[in-house]
Amino acid sequence: MKKHSYFLFAIGLLAITSSCNRNEDPVISEEDEQETEVLRDISTDQAVVNTLYDDLGSQVDGSTYNAEEGDSVWNLCAELTIDTLGDPFPLQVTLDFGTEGCTGRDGKVRKGKLVYNMTGPYREVGSVLTTTPDEYYVNDWNLLGTRIVENLGANGSSQLQYAIEIKNGTAIDPEGEAIKWQSTRTRTWIEGQETGFFTIENGSFLGWDGITDDVYEVTGSGLGVTREGYTFDVEIDSPLRIQLDCQYITRGIVTIVPENYGERTLDYGDGTCDDVAVLQTPLGVREIKLGWGQ
């Protein structure tokens, strides 16, 4: 009887111990926490630098309508200086946002200059647009480098496509920390191609509304170094959706390959305009914020 009682007691103790273990939180190692932190930093910085250079591009690409029409003001802030280097192209255009900071229609504060050369009209196949920032800031982020855009013509769906390259990109945050970035991508103009700043509707120009209805899909790759010094590669798996009426990427999936770690994915969501993306990590799914101040 004693042996039987001891046996039942041991079984009961084992059951209690197993139950307790199942209810405990999983043990997270220091290495796992470190990897998660690295991935979070990389995901945030690559998303922020994407947004910053896409925004730079929207200022340049949108203002080409003004440059071609000889208009002298862009986005409530920038004064355009247009130098005709040819007959009528190439053009050299300077977008001057001033030195004090000016709040545009989209709520962002910009200062400094964007200088770009156009070999031909923006919508003309083969035209090339090369931009160099000059002491240019947006929301106190300083952008450096060169942006080169080439018009590739229309795809099978009659949507214009552009090859976009960022060379020697550097985005410096308000605290002086820098993100290094370069990329080679293809951008497809999927919505808003029929309208522009000077499109007439109901007897008047659409103005800014003719620009902010633009939507693009972006594919390609890039590589960079975060503010913390982490090196990474990025490949777009599902096209990124860029809407000019939203300051964030609203849809798309990218694969991120951090140095010394395996590849991970970042999902920008279902098209909602917000600063949230979902990162897949070894510890599961993590939601991260992609705000400009990160």
Choose among 49, 59, 203: nearest CA to 131. 59
Choose among 229, 138, 222: nearest CA to 181. 222
Kindly tell me if the per-residue pLDDT of 201 is higher than 90. no
What is the pLDDT confidence band of residue 247, given thresholds at 50, 70 and 90? confident
Express each pLDDT in 135-193 by its tens digit: 999 999 999 999 999 999 999 999 999 999 999 999 999 999 999 999 999 999 998 77
* Of 29-38, 122-131, 278-287, the least confident: 29-38
When the pLDDT of each residue in the chain is averaged and rounded to a whole number, the result is 82
- pTM, two decimals, is 0.80
Q: What is the dihedral of CA 4, 5, 8, 13, to 10 degrees?
A: -140
